[in-house]
Each structure stands twice: as C-alpha cells, then as structure tokens.
Amino acid sequence: MKRAAFRLQPVLELRRTQERTAALAAAEAANAAADADRRARDRETALAGSVMPPTQTAGAFLATMTLLRLAADDASAARSMATASAEQAELVRAQWTAAAQRTKGLERLRERHLEAERRAEAAAEERAVDDLVTGRAGRAKPEGDDAWTE
C-alpha cells in the first residue's frame, strides 16, 4: 500500500526553521538585556560609591559636582537602556512562543496524519486477513452431508 505523503511537510519544516530562528533571537535579546542590566548596575554602584572630598576649592567643587551629575545622567541612561532592552527581550520571547505554537499545531496535524495512515494500514491488513479466511471457508466445502456432523 502506497503511503500518502504529509502535504504540509514543507510548511512544517519552514515553521521549525522559523521557531529555531526565533529561539536564537530570544536568546540573543535575553543576553543583551542581561548585559544592559549589568552595565546599569555597575554605573549605579560606581555612582553610589562616589563621595565628595571634604575640602575643595570652588573650582574643584564645581568640577566634582559636574562629574557627579554626568555620572548620574549616565547611570540613568544605562537604566533606561536596560529597561528598554528587557522589554524588547520580552517581545522577542513572545514571538518565539507564537512560532513554537504554530509549529506545534502543524506537528499535531502531522501526528494525526500518521495515525490515520497506521489505522488505514491496519484496516487493509485486517481486510486482507478476512478475505483469506472467508476465501478458505468457501473453498473447503465438505464432500458429504455427514462430514460436518461427525
């Protein structure tokens, strides 16, 4: 018996490729988000550890305050970047989840197709066995009336 091919196999392969691509993108986005968060924490830690020298001239004080302000702006920008990166990673992860769901749907269709093929083969085999059995019964007729009664 010739097996029917799963017609959506090329689509399933495409979906699997899309899912793998989405998984890689999600991993890269998660790594980028983790790196951005680490950089933001480093800058925040550096800013928190900054102290003003106890005695300074007016120019040194102004320079120190300007540097601290720049460091605070840098830490704030790094935190904003980390937040945006985390949000982007979440969106990419959601796309990966959607791709996995589409792939899973086609895989379920393929499994149903294979199960239908197995059932059809089993039914064909059963019919063949039934034909053999009923064919033998038709060929093996008793020769006398009393052959079946013994």
Domain presence at residue 38: yes
Cα separation, 23 vs 31, whole angstroms = 12
Handedness of CA 129, 130, 135, 141 (dihedral sign): positive
Tell me the pLDDT tens digit for each residue of 85-140. Answer: 999 999 999 999 999 999 999 999 999 999 999 999 999 999 988 888 887 666 66
Domain presence at residue 72: yes
Domain presence at residue 149: no
Q: Which two tokens stand for residue 137?
A: 């019964």
Domain presence at residue 74: yes
- pLDDT surpassing 60 at residue 146: no
What is the count of structural domains for the chain?
A: 1
132-133-138-142 Cα dihedral, nearest 10 degrees? 130
More confident residue, 137 or 48: 48
Give the percent of the chain with pLDDT over 90: 65
pTM over 0.85: no
Domain presence at residue 143: no
**Position 24, amino acid:** L
Domain presence at residue 2: no
**Average pLDDT over the chain, rounded to whole?**
88
- Structural domain including 58 reads 9-135
- pLDDT surpassing 90 at residue 148: no
Domain presence at residue 3: no
Tell me the pLDDT tens digit for each residue of 67-86. Answer: 999 999 999 999 999 999 99
Domain presence at residue 144: no
